[in-house]
Structures are given as structure tokens and as C-alpha cells.
Amino acid sequence: LIKACLFDLDGVIVDTARFHYIAWRQLANDLGFDLTEQENEQLKGISRMESLEIILGIGGVELSEDEKLSRAAEKNTRYLALCQQMTPDDTLPGVRAFLDELKVASMGIGLGSASKNAKIILERIDMLSYFQTIVDGNRITKGKPDPQVFLMGADDLDTLPENCVVFEDAVAGIQSAKSAGMFAVGIGEKSVLAEADFVVPGFNDFHLADLVAASESTVQ
């Protein structure tokens, strides 16, 4: 029985993933190498400092701890400048309608994001009021694929993990949802999100009835 839905932010509610990529790629370029779109895929859902470590590994570059902090801060400044262009129209197609359906059905609604900028972004796209709880990068101590982010969300909503559904676009996020014991809906491509219980390309033409049908037909 589904009682609550927990949403990832980047790539699920809003397409900030492309801004993260632009800002990380610029950082890589500044250090003298490139970051491909495919390499960027492994950064999705991963915290800022962990992402930086992965990128430095790709480029074979070593930095001091101070330099890492200042490069990460620089990346975030660039990222937030790009996010300034966003408006409520940048909410991904079908998301608002789906959340309206959940509200009508009295479902719990929570956010589970690795981002420290989650609230700023939700405000920009005028979506903050939908969420009864926000678990973001400022609250968690263990990032995805650890289940902490979604377990905290379920707890905030007084809902058992088995009654929660997670919507995720990242491999690490699907793993996090599955280790939390939740039904995981992948947003994106089946080939990438193979560990999800169910995959849809997006929320367009996706309704609560489709979710219920999918969760009932999947043996967990």
C-alpha cells in the first residue's frame, strides 16, 4: 500500500542536472581536462565533495584540502548563477500535475536530495509548498547510495519504508531507495536504471493509478 512518495530533486522535479554538468565541466576545463557527459552520469545524486573527488580522479589531478574547498565553492557559485535563469516553467513536464494528484489522494510528499541548494531551487520554481518534509544535503550525514536520506523522509512522514515510493533519476539514488526497502521508480532509461522496480521516461501522462498498478504487479 502506497502512503507516501519521496522525490529526488535534480533530474526528477527539475532539470538542474544540466547546470551541474556545465559547472563541473568548467571546473575540469580550468584544471586542464574535459568531463564527458557519460563521466558526468556517475556524479548524479552524489554529494558536492564526493563529486569533486571523482572528477579529480578522472583528470588525475591532486589538490590540497584548501584548494578542494575553494574549487567546490567556485563550482557552486557558478551553478547557482546558472540556476538564477530558472522559473516555475522549468519544473519538469507533468510533475506539478502528478503532485496535485498525490495531494488530492492525501499521500505524504517528501523530498530526498543530496543537494544543499534544494530549498533555494524549490523556491525558484515555486514548488516548496508541496513538500511536507525536506531531507537535503544539509541534513544527511551519509549520501546516496546509503538509504539514510529516504529513511529520514519516511520517518518525518510517519510512514513505514514499505509504504513509500521513491522517484529517482540516478543509479546511486535507486540503490539508496532499494536499501531503504522502498519501491523505486526510475525516471529515465531502463538500461541505466536497471535496479529500479519500474522505469518511466518522465511524469508526462503518468498518473497515480499507473503507479498503483505498477507497484501491485511487482513482486517485492
Catalytic residue set: 8, 10
79/48 Cα distance (integer angstroms): 11
Of 8, 28, 115, 172, the one binding Mg ion (CB under 5 A) is: 8
Residues within the interface to ligand G16 (CB under 6 A): 8-11, 20, 43-48, 51, 76, 113-117, 137, 170
**Mind spelling out the 3-state secondary structure of 87-106?**
CHHHECCCHHHHHHHHHHCC
Our CB check for ligand G16 shows the closer of 74 and 155 to be 74
* Residue 44 labeled ligand binder: yes
Q: Does 136 bind Mg ion (CB under 5 A)?
A: no
* Residue 190 labeled ligand binder: no
**Minimal distance in Å, beta carbon 161 to ligand G16?**
18
36/34 Cα distance (integer angstroms): 6
- Cis, bond preceding 145 (omega within 30 deg of 0): yes
Footprint of Mg ion on 36-95 (CB under 5 A): 45
Q: Between β-strands 133-135 and 4-7, what pairing exists: parallel, antiparallel or unpaired? A: unpaired
Cell of 128: 516548496
Query: What are the binding residues for substrate?
Result: 8-10, 24, 43-48, 51, 75, 113-117, 144
Binding site for Mg ion (CB under 5 A): 8, 10-11, 45, 169-170
